[in-house]
Amino acid sequence: MDLTLKIWRQKGPQDKGQMVEYKVTDISEHMSFLEMMDVLNESLVAKNEEPIAFDHDCREGICGMCSLYINGEAHGPDRGITTCQLHMRMFKNGDTIYIEPFRAKAFPVIKDLVVDRMAFERIQQAGGFISVNTSGNTQDANAIPISKHNADLSMDAAACIGCGACVASCKNSSAMLFVSAKVSQFALLPQGKIEAADRVRNMVSQMDLEGFGNCTNTGACEVECPKGISLENIARMNREYLKASII
């Protein structure tokens, strides 16, 4: 395939960015999207031009590092996948593809397509932990009765990889799907009950401090989430927050 790429280039956080056009040729439909970006960067390096900076790590849809806004959609036109799992067969020969970083006040651009998502880390640090006895008398996890229903819901919430697609796809740049997933994975289990009230208060407070917007139930976050995190988690977090507020 021969493609036209319009890519956001920005030298640094304080610099003014712009869309720059590139042409790539002989792209295989079997390539991943990031492999196509690698091909482009190799051609730029061969011409002594600055390669395009973009985040990636595992390239298996696990780490949540890749974060490209492709043709107006977080992670591109496919569903239930991250950018690294997007393949070029989703595009046609002659297509023009727009590639931008995730856009949010709380996700400032570092360079080109790389954004700073440390806001997510700070939210987790604000409350994402549990009290565990490490004295040598730790209770075996399998000895604690947990209903399969709650265990499954907790595992579904824990599938969140913190990529930020929910924020990028939300018109309000809300992080509530991410935060609610982290709150829910603990709130549904007995191990998470001890700090439950402090956890939800602290994490929501940190979310607000980071500058994320609020949820208005549009649902774009769930649609674009590569792990299919449910909006039900936001409802659960709201209930947990209400309970914590009246304690």
Q: How far apart are CA 30 and CA 33, in angstroms?
A: 9
> E-strand spans in the chain?
3-9, 18-24, 68-70, 73-74, 96-101, 109-111, 114-115
pLDDT along the chain (247 residues), means of 10: 97 95 97 97 97 95 94 96 97 98 96 97 90 72 86 96 97 97 94 92 97 95 97 97 90
The verdict on domain 117-132+140-245 having CATH code 1.10.1200.10 is no
Q: How far apart are CA 133 and CA 110, in angstroms?
A: 40
pLDDT at 181: 97
Question: 3-111, superfamily in CATH?
Answer: Beta-grasp domain (3.10.20.30)
Query: What is the residue extent of each domain of the chain?
Result: 3-111, 117-132+140-245
pLDDT at 134: 67
Whole-angstrom CA distances from 52 to 24, 89, 116 are 14, 22, 16
DSSP bridge partners of 19: 8
Instruction: Supply 132's token pair.
Output: 């565990």
pLDDT at 145: 87
**Whole-prediction pTM value?**
0.93
